[in-house]
Amino acid sequence: MALPSLAIFLVFFISASATSTPCPSKATALTLAESFWRWQWVALGCEGGFEGDVLEVILTPAEHGLCEVILVRPKGDLRILYDQSKTTFDEKMAGQMRREGNWVGLDAHLCSETSFIGMQPLTRPIRKEQITFAFEQIQRLRAQEIKGGRKCGGDLALHSDLGVTHAEEEMVALGVEKKFTIYVKEGPVNTDTTETKVVDTATARRRLGWFGSSSSSDGGAAIPVTVRLIMYEQWHGSDNNITRSYRFVSSNPSPCRISAATAKNMQKNIMMMDDLRDTVSRQNQRAGEWQARINEVALDHVHGGPDAWRRKYLGDRTKEAVLPYLDKERLKQKSERMADATLKRLGLYEFPLSYDVRKAHPTCVLPPRSQDSCGSCWAFAAVGAWEKQVCKLGDGHARDLSRQRIINCGESSFGCDGGHAYTAYNAILRDGVVPESCAPYTSGKSGAPVGEPLGTGLCKHKSTYSGCDMYFGRPPNTIEADKGQFIRDGEVSGVPNSPSTSFLMGEAAIQGAIMTYGAVWAGFTVFGDFQSYSHGVYKRRSNQELGGHAVQLIGWGQTDNGQKYWIAENSWGDTWGENQHMQQCSQQECRGDFCDQSMAASASKQHGETCGYFRITRGENHVGIEELAAHSFVQGLEPDSTHVPQSSEQFAEGAAIGAGVAGGGLLVVAGIAAAVWKLFCSGGRGGYDKM
């Protein structure tokens, strides 16, 4: 839709006694108008920047010694009147806008009618002085680093024939931020910046030799350096001149890291970026399939490489530790019992076509969290599923439980280098878990702890959390033990006794566990295209295997065309993936050159929107999602029991109630379960103890 035509005039009063022509040169008129508008743009509180492209400047002498200056613009014309009798900038320049055929005062309507948001491509030439300033600042900062003892390499020189690429600008307070890429080389200093025009990326690559030679025509490996600087303009009323000054903001790479080796890495990143763009484009052209977009998660893989990406976003080691040694036939049989028992308990012939814990138990669901820069998905998935069980089988109130407590107490885990579902559930059983407010998550920022394995040296004693609620796991009762696969001492090499971790496999068993306990931990293999997932039912196209990941499965369903899916909650933050309505998240954290620019203006999520979920193909064990799942148990809570015990003695009563409802005549079993629990947890503290 075309933007409405906009006409604005700014008034410049000229002394009637002036003997010179009332009109300045076109260059002076354009410079004054642009400078005035930048000043007004800040005063009006507009965001982003003013669209300043001018197609033509028309100068016409007007009455009373005024000069009419019309700037013909794609986004609306500007009409200016000029007079030199005033002495200050704001007195010389007043502005109006045309609305419905009438001239009216400037107001905030201009912001939405003529603005852009964020960095905008700049096709006009970059001034030689701007390139020179940026390069001199890089040299100055590099020299400071060398003087301070850092090894930054030798002299740098500007390439004389590569031009400038990726030129952008954005309005900022009292100035204009300019971002552009220059090309340097290691060698004798050369500040020849004769050619400063903006060239497209393909031209730059041909000159750089990224598809052939690694150097340009003037010799030396070309090193792209993206610089940011802010330009300030000051108007001098006495002679209508404008002086410019600059402030250096940053360079990428930083001055000391500019080298030929860095250039090779950047070239590799750009090639990977091309592959990512192609992957996203191809996926989005497939009708009826899931949609992708370039996001922060995908860019981290490009910029950091696969190893760093795995350490940050993955981290589950459960399958590699357990699957090779488990009796899969016995696991299958017990999983079938789980499914059958759930159907019988619920009085169903088969599982419903869809189920979503977010709708069935909305008060039990908190916004998805982020593991940040720590391979702790194993803890997030296990604790996240367990806290939903606390709510579903308890009092219906969601509790945000501490992942940090479980990471620190994960005796057989590797901390931020990975862990297991059974490690998390063993820690809950043995050491208990407290609310997030009592042990906040810090590993996401620090990337620690790590260990081989971690041990219990970081696990604080329960008495440390005085005044905090503490929740414990429990071993299964007889009925639950018959429906799950548990690891006993010596059964699986290298895996400790895990009496409260119930493993299961297969579509029906997972459905039964979700309906019974609220959610399950599930592990699967991440492939290269999953990181750019946006919305829809994921089914991999990539063959690039990245590693094991753990998430929560919280429901299932099928599309209108019959495609079955799982609903999963990830731990990559609340802007990745789709929202609770199974739509693309309206917000993205990704900002910068390569992000999805169609979402660039989405600064916040829609009201009530919660993102961080994804759907994945169900019923085919796609990427191993149904190969191994797990859940644990909450002390004092069992399926069909609404009693919330406060101590180990009340736990026996609560277990008896739950067992009685489930099968009748199992009070003795419940009492035995309570006794066994006391052996596992010193002090016999209840599921909702206050320390």
Ordered by start, the domain boundaries in the chain are 7-116, 120-272, 313-634, 635-691
Q: How sure is the predictor about 676, in pLDDT bands with cuts at 50, 70 and 90?
A: very low
| DSSP state at residue 595 | S
**What share of the chain in percent tops pLDDT 70?**
68
Residue 18 has pLDDT above 60, yes or no: no
- pLDDT value of residue 257: 83
CB atoms within 10 A of CB 291: 16
In whole angstroms, what is the distance from residue 110 CA to residue 75 CA?
11
Query: Any idea how long the chain is?
Result: 691
The DSSP element (H or E) to which 26 belongs, if any, is helix 26-43
Q: Two tokens at 325?
A: 């040694």
- pLDDT value of residue 677: 41
CB atoms within 10 A of CB 38: 21
The answer for residues whose C-beta is within 8 angstroms of residue 239's C-beta and 6 or more apart is: none
Q: Could you tell me if 349 and 343 are in contact, meaning their C-beta atoms sit under 8 angstroms apart?
A: yes
Tokens 């400047």, located at residue: 57
In whole angstroms, what is the distance from residue 475 CA to residue 661 CA?
19
Residue 130 has pLDDT above 70, yes or no: yes
Q: Could you tell me if 558 and 594 are in contact, meaning their C-beta atoms sit under 8 angstroms apart?
A: no
Q: How sure is the predictor about 420, in pLDDT bands with cuts at 50, 70 and 90?
A: very high
Q: How sure is the predictor about 546, in pLDDT bands with cuts at 50, 70 and 90?
A: very high
Residue 355 has pLDDT above 90, yes or no: yes
Q: Of 134-143, 302-311, 377-386, where does the model show the most confidence?
A: 377-386
The beta strand positions in 297-362, using DSSP E, are 355-356
The DSSP element (H or E) to which 236 belongs, if any, is strand 223-236
The answer for residues whose C-beta is within 8 angstroms of residue 537's C-beta and 6 or more apart is: 289, 290, 559, 563, 565, 615, 616, 617
The beta strand positions in 570-683, using DSSP E, are 578-579, 611-617, 629-631
CA Rg value for the chain: 32
| DSSP state at residue 383 | H
| DSSP state at residue 349 | S
Q: How sure is the predictor about 555, in pLDDT bands with cuts at 50, 70 and 90?
A: very high
Q: What is the mean pLDDT of residues 643-671?
A: 33
The rounded mean pLDDT for the chain is 77
Residue 316 has pLDDT above 70, yes or no: yes
Q: How sure is the predictor about 207, in pLDDT bands with cuts at 50, 70 and 90?
A: very low
In whole angstroms, what is the distance from residue 520 CA to residue 425 CA?
12
End-to-end Cα spacing for the chain: 63
H-assigned helices in 572-666: 648-663
Q: What is the mean pLDDT of residues 125-132?
A: 84
- The more confident residue out of 377 and 78 is 377
Model pTM above 0.85: no
- pLDDT value of residue 85: 66
In whole angstroms, what is the distance from residue 218 CA to residue 188 CA?
12
Least confident of 74-78, 272-276, 323-327: 74-78
- pLDDT value of residue 1: 39
Q: Two tokens at 96?
A: 């109006």
Distances (CA, A) of 20 to 14, 31, 62: 10, 20, 14
Least confident of 167-181, 194-208, 588-602, 641-655: 641-655
In whole angstroms, what is the distance from residue 654 CA to residue 647 CA?
10
State the number of CA atoms in the 13 A half-sphere of 604 facing the CB: 3
Q: What is the mean pLDDT of residues 303-309?
A: 86
| DSSP state at residue 512 | H
Q: Two tokens at 560?
A: 């209108």
Q: What is the mean pLDDT of residues 108-129?
A: 59
Tell how strand 537-538 and strand 611-617 pair up.
parallel
Give the CATH fold of the 313-634 domain.
Cathepsin B; Chain A (3.90.70)
